[in-house]
Structure 1
């Protein structure tokens, strides 16, 4: 869980010195991309940037970094969430990629963030305060990439104590960089005068102003310390042994010096109750009245905080309501030094209370970060045992794995519960290869516990059930359906005798089994139970997965309205219970895929593309194989519906390849992309390719009846296209009977339609019209629409001539209009959704000039981009890496490109493009 208070810009003090000369340097403007404000602590960096933001129009994302943000994944989670907290939308794919902890997934997440900023088009400002805490070399490399590809108009401001190792010389040459260093930040004499007279309300002489300004060199923290002490006694000119005419040494900018000064000249001069409050609350990186009241066992903390604020005692408000605050870091360090030295036992007890408050208020990740920092391993083990399961099911499986790795190895090895967390963490991270040895270790530990007569028999039974449940999913990945079913049923039988909340995950497994057998009614009932228990157990990931698969099944049964309601209700529940905008938004592949299919089938292709968009980045980076196939399948179906057959072929071939290579990592049988791929080749006039695809599937094991039906219907379409209607009808008659019995209504409509076309070829017109009438009637009731436009031109002619279509109501009118003009709405090509950040939108637009329009069909912007990269000598693999897409997608674009240019090779494509003026070099 991320801290939302880190996204709050410090409130501006109206009495603070207004530094117009520096604010003008920070202003956004072309071609600048980065402000770099660098100085030691106490130079007024944050105050300056906050003042500038307060007077700046446009959206502002603010993030205050701390020592826990030196991890690349956590850093980019906070950066993306800062934008989201400030109102930026379209970051679902970014957050999803951030759930995987690899360089590739983080690169995809950064690319998704850049694309979201480009799509939004607003003049965003991002402020990263205390950037010195982001010291990781990987963060610096990734941040350099982020700046390099920022859209025009977006400005980043870094506030740091040290100059970060970024490619600053290159950015200076490009005029992207504005730097403000200590010499510029130092207060001028006029600013010093205003600070003492107006901000601090002190009447000091002009001579003293000049002396303090000269000796501090404009360092505002030292001036504030001096003002708070009530005199300038900390400076050497007041030492009687010092010659007043001799040059005076400036105050040393040293954190130890500042800490000593805070303790001696500020803290020791405060009233006892103020000192006690400061010391008692110094263990908290961020403060609120409730937290402080808990630490101090009082109810006056809000009053105390507001008093400190009025006294300028280094308390920084984090909002405009005086609810959340933080101490200046150096001031807090000095306080901690004092209490740990004078009363270490109390310091530790206060820290424990602070962590307990965080745990009790749902800030589990923040609490764990504090525990890890103190290396309190027994407490970390206890917290993980209590909260680890919910964290994993809330999408935080990778952090849990990292925390388990931080524990002493023997502590994990001797705990079956912690080892089980490691199993679930790896399971959710799709690291299935080495789970079996871990499961065996857990069973050995449980056997020893029973042998030793351990009292926690109920807990042991619950852990054994978890082991069996994981094994059931591993069995599904091996297509061992019987073992999977037996294990799951055993878990369900034992589950009421355990205290571990497993019902939702267990019912989801049974639902997968029912779905795999083609028992859609049974799967629907089971998945409803999974959703219910997921809500009771507060497992959002299981609710989303179960609800998404439920909607997918309802769609295939012909209950599209019900499927849409299921998606809406599930998403609403998750958002209500997990609405913290700082958290990554949980995405369900099944749910988003179901929504894509529903809106595609309703012929609302743009809406379908919008629901597909959050899933697209997972195809390239980070998606587990089963999800990868589902996404590519619905992506290919959308392209097929939009008559983008070459794109569809690329996506579906990729899905088929992943399915063959990674079958052992998939815990269910994915949709049959082969059936849709064959239809693409038929639509392209390549029946030979369609036959090759379908015949290659015959040797493969297909257990899911839905997939068998899809392939059979596609094979029947092929036979009709080849003029063999009798053979097609033999297949279709059996299919019609099976789909009716199993309530596979979508397939039933398709089988009726194709059989109608086969009957028409045999001149059995009455039977043909009967079949078409049945298909139209069922489709009208279910709301199916787009599938009619996807059938052959001959079948569409038969439908338009059908009396059933002509005499119906509004749905029938929509069907007629769509068949007469099947491309009235086109899904916006994924060129905009997957645009590579290294090409600015305005640059891409300028390429599509009059010379492009000389072609019968103009090149798309993505095809133009591919052409430019071919011209630059890039291989297909390099093009895929540059554009951030899958190699199969590049192949599809190249095929489309060759078709439009009328060429067959790269060299011919380049020559033709130059002839048309598309390429000029």
Structure 2
């Protein structure tokens, strides 16, 4: 008995997860806290850590339950002994005389006694799933009559058959389930560190994705990574899955072998599908009760998880184990299951999934036709369907016809081998040319055109896109992912050619399609190009909006640091260059030394060599489009720059003639034109005499405070008619100001966390608070609002700035 009544002893290294400790603390302020999840999810570890942390609201009685403890007399004997050991005085209560029953009078007296105590009692029942209704009826009675002095924490793989609906309605119930127990990346990183596993953030990200945050899986990974060198660690992370011996043995012992034979057969046959609607489960298993069985498995928390539209899926590691077990069956049996899945999914309109199963069945021609005619290949080209890409990568060379050739070309483009795509494209063109264009071959012709665009050099992609657009018009709206990819590539090509108006329209279309298709990475790249295009043309406010949106999207999809699209930093470098903030411009220009994109690379090369390094590099000029070289010259064809410079020349001329009034009027015109974009560079590069003239005109400087400290702004009192936004009702904290400054510098959440030496979750909490206080919903809106309120200043204002000073994007 002593071992059953002690707080569970945790023998492994424990990561204290404060968010979950807080949940238990808050939950035990009410009568019932229920912690349910699958085996190895960290339920007992969490509860034990919580008790050890000392945040329990009363005396703790812990009972570790086992099979056989569901007899009323046995259970209530444990409860009385556990309460007594915790310090609750129970002088008048004796244990039940029989193991199979307990009188109601005992529970009534126990409830009355607990209710009279000054300090609450916390009863922790671990493995509560072993208890049946004969015991739980009494638990329900005690909980209702001893509240609020009794706090129950029930831990188990399944929810106990208590009247939970009544507890929820009364506000008595706190539930901690599998999704909350899953480790975050920060928590997984802490676990790796506790076990001495030296792995980087990307490896942690992969492990969290593979394990779905499952505590036992992460711990097995951490233990296998102890004291390994970087090469060994990389290989372990790459190969980690449910087929590993330690993971497989755990699943077999704890989950799979505990199921009846019929359920085990069902699990194996249905494991071929990634997503399992009940009708597909019936087809694969040969049963007609799959809906009931799957519902029971989900409720049992045996790694069968609910998915969208009533379907279910198996936990990824458990699915690996099931497929490894199925792989021991005769190959023809597995092939028949994949053929069945392919037929059902094709009839259901799920062509990508159908193609995966056709490939797994060795029906390569059918797989290629499904991928091309169903336009599922768009997910391959966009990099959003890794499963389909992996499934189709093994297509044999002998699979002929236009579908096989186009598919091989698409796979070559995805692999970065544009040259390798050329012979497959040529073969597809020859086959297609031998047949008249029909509605039946329209899809393969359209995909061929799309792949030709993506495989073309930057100077030819726009021309190749004309054919795609013509076929898309004939076919009706194409798949948005294909459209986004083609127009993104074509927009970059038009930028290279100097057709900037067409480029902007094309890139805007690509951004819209990417948003609809939920291609966050592509959208971040496209918005970055839009920012760069506008920045080089002096449209700084529009460039800033695009750059802010690009940075926000990049942060959302995990593109931070060197993985962030280089066009964003290139655009910010140009924005700050035009605002005469050369230090910040240099920082952004150096952030990405060698971008893959030729347009971005040329924009950065020209800016670095001709402006930031004060030299003219003819090699850079020859490699760059003419419009980019012209964009950094003193007189250029920008939307705003030329008129500003014209008025500045006029002001300088009038000043030389001694006509100060006319000089001031011309200077005012120049400042008025430059103000919307905060275009400081032409003013900073004006003749010294004109700059001195401006520095002595306090009225002009006050009107144009955006010029900043570099032009000797003298602060003045705010006038009565100065209509600025109202101040914040709830001011930002010092840390929120720091986060806001880094947000304005367009740092990702990860980068802000690194700069401030805090966790990513802490940064996210600060950002949510900032958005609330500024009454906005998005980061870009928060930056704009902060500038309106004067909460952000740039280096040109003469104010101290953090390491990551915010760019002036919205004035």
TM-score by length of 2: 0.51
Match of 2:669 in 1: 774
From 490, 504, 512, the equivalent of 1:524 is: 504
| In the alignment, structure 1 residue 406 sits paired with structure 2 residue 394 | yes
Cross-structure match for 1:47 = 40
Q: Distance in 2 between matches of 1:456 and 1:50?
A: 56
Q: How does 1:815-830 map to 2 (within 5 A)?
A: 815=707, 819-820=711-712
- Aligned partners of 1:128 and 1:159 also within 8 Å: no
Counterpart of 2:368 in structure 1 is: 381
Partner of 2:572: 634
Q: CA deviation at 1:528?
A: 3.9
Change (3 A) 1:337 1:570: closer
Alignment partners' CA distance in 1, 2:352 and 2:712: 57
2:446 to 448, 457, 462: 462
Q: Secondary structure at the match of 1:671?
A: helix
Partner of 1:497: 474
Q: In the alignment, what sits opposite 1:417?
A: 403
| Contact 2:532/2:574, CA 8 A, preserved across alignment | no
Query: Structure 1 residue 439: deviation in Å?
Result: 3.1
Counterpart among 617, 629, 648 of residue 562 in structure 2: 617
- What whole-Å deviation, never above 9, does each CA across 1:292-340 have from its counterpart, x for those lacking one? 4565698854433455678x7x9445479998575977995799599x6
Q: Which residue number in structure 1 is paired with residue 293 of structure 2?
A: 304
CA distance in 2, matches of 1:90, 1:818: 46
Task: Sort the Cα spacing of 1:384 and 1:461 in 2 relative to 1 into closer, same or farther, 3 A.
Answer: closer
User: Pairwise mapping of residues 256-405 of structure 1 onto structure 2 (< 5 A)?
Assistant: 266-267=260-261, 281=270, 283=272, 292=281, 295=284, 301-307=290-296, 315-318=302-305, 324=312, 326=314, 351-354=338-341, 375-385=362-372, 386-396=374-384, 402-405=390-393
TM-score, length of structure 1 as denominator length: 0.46
Work out whether 1:710 is the aligned partner of 2:670.
no
> Does residue 51 of structure 2 align to residue 129 of structure 1?
no
- In the TM superposition, what whole-angstrom CA distance separates every residue of 1:377-433 from its partner, at most 9, and x where no partner exists? 44543443335432135424876654443122212xx24334334434444555444
Rounded Cα–Cα distance in structure 2 between residues aligned with 1:302 and 1:792: 77
Contact 1:279 1:335 in 2 (8 A): yes
Q: Distance in 2 between matches of 1:307 and 1:569?
A: 45
The number of aligned residues is 563
Q: Give CA deviations for 1:1-29 in whole Å, capped at 9, x if unaligned.
A: xxxxxxxxxxxxxxxx9995553534237
Which segment drifts farther, 827-836 or 421-430? 827-836
Q: Measure the CA separation in 2 of the matches of 1:565 and 1:832.
A: 16
1:152-171, aligned counterparts within 5 Å? 162=245
Gaps of 5+ in 2: 18-36, 54-178, 189-197, 715-736, 759-811
Are the structure 2 counterparts of residues 556 and 836 from structure 1 closer, same or farther at C-alpha, using a change threshold of 3 Å? closer
**Secondary structure at 2:603 match in 1:** coil
Secondary structure, aligned partner of 1:129:
helix
Give, in whole Å, the separation in 2 of the partners of 1:439 and 1:779.
50
Matches within 5 A, 1:560-709: 586=557, 614-618=559-563, 628=566, 631=569, 634=572, 645=583, 652=589, 658=594, 666=598, 670-671=602-603, 673-675=605-607, 677-681=609-613, 690=614, 693-694=615-616, 696=618, 700=622, 702-705=624-627, 707-709=628-630
- CA–CA distance in 2 between the matches of 1:107 and 1:763? 70
Equivalent in 678, 687, 693 of residue 784 of structure 1: 678
Deviation at 1:712, TM superposition (A): 1.2
Q: What is the CA-CA distance between 1:524 and the residue it aligns to?
A: 3.4
Change (3 A) 1:352 1:109: farther
Aligned equivalents of 1:680 and 1:362: distance in 2? 55
What's 1:110 paired with? 202
Give the superposition deviation at 1:694.
1.9
Distance 1:50 1:631, change over 3 A: same
| Cα RMSD for the two superposed structures | 6.6
Aligned pair partner of 1:805 in 700, 706, 716: 700
1:520-549 deviation line (CA, Å, top 9, x unaligned): 444434444444566677766665554544
Distance in structure 1 (CA, Å) of the matches to 2:279 and 2:45: 32
User: Residues 278 and 335 of structure 1 are in contact (CA less than 8 Å); yes or no, is this contact kept in structure 2?
Assistant: no
| 3-state SS of paired residue (1:708) | helix
SS at match of 2:215: strand
In structure 2, relative to structure 1, the CA distance for the partners of 1:746 and 1:639 (3 Å cut) is closer
Match of 1:441 among 409, 427, 431: 427
8 Å contact kept, 1:293–1:300: yes
**Distance in 1 of aligned mates of 2:319 and 2:526:** 46
Cα deviation for residue 675 of structure 1 reads 3.9
Measure the CA separation in 2 of the matches of 1:383 and 1:221.
Answer: 36
Q: Give the aligned partner of residue 725 of structure 1.
A: none
Structure 1: how far apart are the matches of 2:235 and 2:324? 36
Q: Is the 8 A contact 1:512 1:668 kept in 2?
A: no
Please give the alpha-carbon distance, in whole angstroms, between the structure 2 residues aligned to 1:158 and 1:297: 29
Q: 1:485 and 1:817 mapped to 2: Cα distance?
A: 45
- Indicate conservation of the 8 Å contact 1:416/1:446, yes or no: yes
Q: Which residues of structure 1 form unaligned runs of 5+? A: 1-16, 31-43, 59-81, 92-105, 117-123, 149-156, 165-181, 183-218, 226-257, 477-482, 576-583, 588-613, 620-626, 682-689, 714-731, 843-921
Aligned to 1:909: none
In the alignment, which of 463, 474, 479 is matched to residue 457 of structure 2?
474
